[in-house]
Structure 1
């Protein structure tokens, strides 16, 4: 069985030429889970797979990560075969923010009579969630105020930070067994995002060798990060993963 992370986009919010940061976990070439849904993510997803995602995980509610959800709602609502079947996983702490940003505007459709979440199966979680027999760990990251941003890990395979400052103690717990770590990193850090100097200060050499950097500011920034010896994800790239380990006995 083959596992890959397919990077639909790798850019920071302003790096529109790189696409909104979003990835698809693939199993044997088939999409299993989309992580984040920015303004251009659906177009990129449909170009790659010819369909809509059946499962979506939201890391946080900045618009470069959820800006495609209104469009996804419209496509799903008017397809009776899909309506109510697409699972949207997010940490329970994000539900009020997600509700306010995408679901609470009066009159989801001009005709009325429609509730936004009836188009989906919203699955709030805290420690993690099950999907197709796999347990995905959910962990808090450091992005603006606490409890507003959460990464995702699949034991033995990968961790995906979403937007974050450095979180060495968290990655030790959720990606401490050789997993690939897809990590937010720009050429320069700021109070909400990791910069390459932060990486070199906060993470040891062993972890740095497992990093795959994304969410950078431009193609030139990506090249500069690569020139410093780091793996840098490219838009459209598929990265091979190790097979996940069986879920822990205490998972769920």
Structure 2
């Protein structure tokens, strides 16, 4: 079965591309689109969620969480309010979270003595929480999840839509992971700033760790300022900009068989 026969085009819309201090660039967040419509959103930062609302006129219906630093999850309180008080949305927002990240996310955004002053509500009542392992199914397609190098083992993860997109999440270089998860010509959205540190990739790290052919497929995000983005672009790299839409190849990911 050819799942892409007659399929609508795929794209990636960047809602925010900056690091935690680059507020003007927006918190790192993106949405995979199918036919120009939101299909799966990656992370939920405060500025990123605002950009999502302005673009689509509503809130995400399905999200994947890479890790729980606040620039990636600070929008969840607003998302809770929008869903909990709407009977048509309450409990319907699908939230795909790597299993080791679930308790960390709960401590960050869900563990509050009374989520509503009136009581009677749990934070997770607003969502359909789906803990995931190495892979999960969304809208009939299989996506893969892999650990990355950010702060501490098993706290941050990347995402692959086979044949289409690899999202590194916040990470140091991961050549061994991309050798496996970016093996079919996928576009790669990769953490990169002008200068690296123990949690993030710098341009020198990128050029040392990855072959030229792989770097040519990358679009860089999580940089510190518009000027830094321009400096990265001047070195010949594709640099993500807030609001930018990137064309993606149709996925070759396994599709669920009709039931």
TM-score (norm 1): 0.97
What secondary structure, in the 3-state scheme, does the structure 1 residue paired with 2:169 have? coil
The residue that corresponds to 1:132 in the other structure is 139
- In structure 2, the gaps of 5 or more residues are 1-7
1:14 and 2:33 matched: no
The residue that corresponds to 2:57 in the other structure is 50
The residue that corresponds to 1:81 in the other structure is 88
The residue that corresponds to 1:195 in the other structure is 202
Alignment counterpart, residue 232 of structure 1, candidates 230, 233, 239: 239
The residue that corresponds to 1:247 in the other structure is 254
Question: Residues of 1 paired with 2:87 and 2:253: CA distance?
Answer: 35
Shift of 1:60: 0.1
TM-score (norm 2): 0.95
Alignment counterpart, residue 153 of structure 2, candidates 134, 146, 151: 146
Question: Residues of 2 paired with 1:43 and 1:199: CA distance?
Answer: 30
Q: Deviations over 1:192-235 (max 9, x none)?
A: 00000000000011101111100100000000000000000110
What secondary structure, in the 3-state scheme, does the structure 2 residue paired with 1:40 have? helix
The residue that corresponds to 1:179 in the other structure is 186
**Structure 1 runs of 4+ with >3 Å offset:** none
The residue that corresponds to 2:5 in the other structure is none
Question: Where in structure 2 are the equivalents of 1:94-173 lying within 5 Å?
Answer: 94-173=101-180
- In structure 1, the gaps of 5 or more residues are none
Shift of 1:248: 7.5
CA RMSD of aligned residues (A): 1.0
The residue that corresponds to 2:79 in the other structure is 72
Is the 2:143–2:253 contact (alpha carbons within 8 Å) kept by the matching residues of 1?
Answer: no
What secondary structure, in the 3-state scheme, does the structure 1 residue paired with 2:102 have? helix
Question: Residues of 2 paired with 1:173 and 1:113: CA distance?
Answer: 46
